Amino acid sequence: IEKQAFEGIKFRHDGQRTSQPQGGIYPRIVQLKRFLFESSLKRQSAIVNIQDGNTRGGINRVLCKGAPEIIENHLKTVPEAYTEHYIDYVKNGARVLAMAYKDLKMNSDQAATLTREDAECDLVFCGFIISECPLKEDTKSVIEELTQSAHEVKMITGDNQLTAAYIAQELNFAPGSNNKSLFVASVAPSAGTIKWNDINDKFVKQTSAPSEVSELAQKYLLCVSGDKLDKIFEMEGVGKTLRDIHVFSRTSPNQKTAIVAQLNNEGNITLMTGDGTNDVGSLKRADVGLAIVNNTPPSKDMKKKKKEMSWMPKRSDLEGLSFAEQKVKIQEHQQEYQ
């Protein structure tokens, strides 16, 4: 997303600390300090010096972006209909980040010493980044093949729950849901109850046992966000409850690992796929962990080759070869296939 954003605004980065327009000099933005993204904070920011060629010494500014519901808590003033605007986008599957800033009345040396707490407060909202990540052309057919072959498919993501639910409905994670999703609104671990709301945050149902959650899963796509998940972990029969939930959103790395562990404890055989550092723990905890390190779409030539080739070489290609030679031949063939 960040690479595409840079291309879209026609900026370039020198790989160190400076960004500026492609083919131009100003505005020249120099990073003074950076606060990295943390999954627990769901935001990241930088303190920068903006040089426009006119202002002596430039302008020192805090730039921040992150989950809209998180950035909202760091704004000096929240714009009217802030929540309604971003919710409209995430309901339709978009990924939304909020952007905010703050000008600093101090020199660059002083700005570089600010703590994260001091930098990320009283920010001024300046807009949403709306991005779409279209499904790959074969994703839906693969999910369908899995669900029709007695596999249960779940989504464990750090994305907003409405975005995640939209994608899960597109992929038909819950065939009996008829595009209806329910979201965990509140959890009472001691009583063993979960209240479920619809996409418009209206109460629909309360469950008091894993069996009731299972019944609900036959009619709805069930979703839970990370802030409610910890309470569910405190409930009796948590593993059975988790098995019937289709979408886990805004989850931390530790929560991802815990979900897989609970499913394993119930006797399930789990396979987890992931493409980032936040997935490492859950990949290790699953019975099978698939780390996606390169998802470049296959070229037309590669697609054609895979249609014409099989995973194993022809029997005639192996005739007359020793066992060792056959092994080498098979390895070479499979490398070409990949």
**Does position 335 have pLDDT exceeding 90, yes or no?**
no
Q: Which residue has the higher pLDDT, 66 or 302?
A: 66
Average pLDDT over residues 279-283: 91
Phi, psi of 113 (to 5 degrees): -100, 0
User: Is the separation of the CB atoms in 252 and 226 below 8 Å?
Assistant: yes
pLDDT tens across 189-204, in order? 989 999 999 998 999 9
* Predicted pLDDT of residue 309: 58
Domains (ranges, CATH) in the chain?
2-131 (3.40.1110.10), 139-291 (3.40.50.1000), 300-337 (no CATH)
**Does position 112 have pLDDT exceeding 90, yes or no?**
yes
Percent of the chain exceeding pLDDT 70 equals 92
* Predicted pLDDT of residue 93: 83
- Measure the CA–CA gap between 244 and 235, rounded to whole angstroms: 15
**Does position 100 have pLDDT exceeding 90, yes or no?**
yes
* Predicted pLDDT of residue 314: 72
The mean pLDDT value of the chain amounts to 88
Average pLDDT over residues 26-55: 92
Q: Which residues pair with 61 in a beta bridge?
A: 48, 103
- Measure the CA–CA gap between 304 and 294, rounded to whole angstroms: 20
User: Is the separation of the CB atoms in 199 and 163 below 8 Å?
Assistant: no
* Predicted pLDDT of residue 333: 74
**Does position 232 have pLDDT exceeding 70, yes or no?**
yes
Average pLDDT over residues 136-165: 90
**Does position 326 have pLDDT exceeding 90, yes or no?**
no
**Count of beta carbons in the 10 Å neighbourhood of residue 236:** 11
Q: Which of 87-91, 117-121, 255-259 has the lowest mean pLDDT?
A: 87-91
Quick check: bond before 313 cis, omega within 30?
no
* Predicted pLDDT of residue 298: 61
* Predicted pLDDT of residue 307: 54
